[in-house]
Amino acid sequence: MKLHENNVLGELGGAIGKGLLSGLAATAAMTLSQIIEMRITKRKPSEATIKVAGKITGIKPKSDADKPKLSQEIHWSYGTVWGISRGLISLTGLKGWPATLVHFAAVWGTAMVMLPKFDAAPPVTEEKPQAIAIDGLHHAVYAVTAGLVFEALDAGGKHERKFDKLVKQLRLKGLINRIKF
């Protein structure tokens, strides 16, 4: 008796769910990357998310004090939802680093087009090389994290064993004893 049959909607739902979790983890990694970079470079947080959201949806913070909170809410939502594309990429049969590279190109390419279109950032041709490199690094952190998390969630065989081994090691160190898998 076959207990599980693959079907299109099940595969799509699984890809979307794993993609959302991957996007959430990737957004956390990118946020940490940005926090570290801003402390090193003394750069202030960008208001690009608020500018774009304001022009697309009309959403505006009630006051200047609300800007950071709204910016973070948009950043986390946008980053998490971009994880769906990682799941959809997997449905094409593309896996591993090639899928991560396609995801990276989609996410960063969209930012390069969308932000200047909504006057939230200058075109890449007008940016300083250091700013382009930093932005590329943050998007690479996002894409690589999304890829690694997606592959772990979608794992079978040796990848699943590696993930299970990591969980066991973390439990032995007392880091995740309260979480039940």
Within a domain: residue 74?
yes
Quote the CA–CA distance of 109 and 117 in Å, as a whole number.
13
The number of distinct structural domains making up the chain is: 1
Within a domain: residue 153?
yes
The angle at the Cα of 57, spanning 109 to 71, to the nearest 5 degrees, equals: 70
Within a domain: residue 69?
yes
The domain of 143 spans 9-172
Residue 127: exposure state from Cβ atoms within 10 A (0-12, 13-18, ≥19)? middle
Within a domain: residue 60?
yes
Within a domain: residue 2?
no
Phi, psi of 155 (to 5 degrees): -70, 155
Within a domain: residue 178?
no
Within a domain: residue 1?
no
Tens digit of pLDDT at every position of the chain (181 positions) = 455 556 788 889 999 999 999 999 999 999 999 999 999 999 999 889 999 999 999 988 898 899 999 999 999 999 999 999 999 999 999 999 999 999 999 999 999 999 999 999 999 999 999 999 999 999 999 999 999 999 999 876 455 566 667 767 766 666 555 555 4
This prediction has a pTM of 0.81
Within a domain: residue 163?
yes
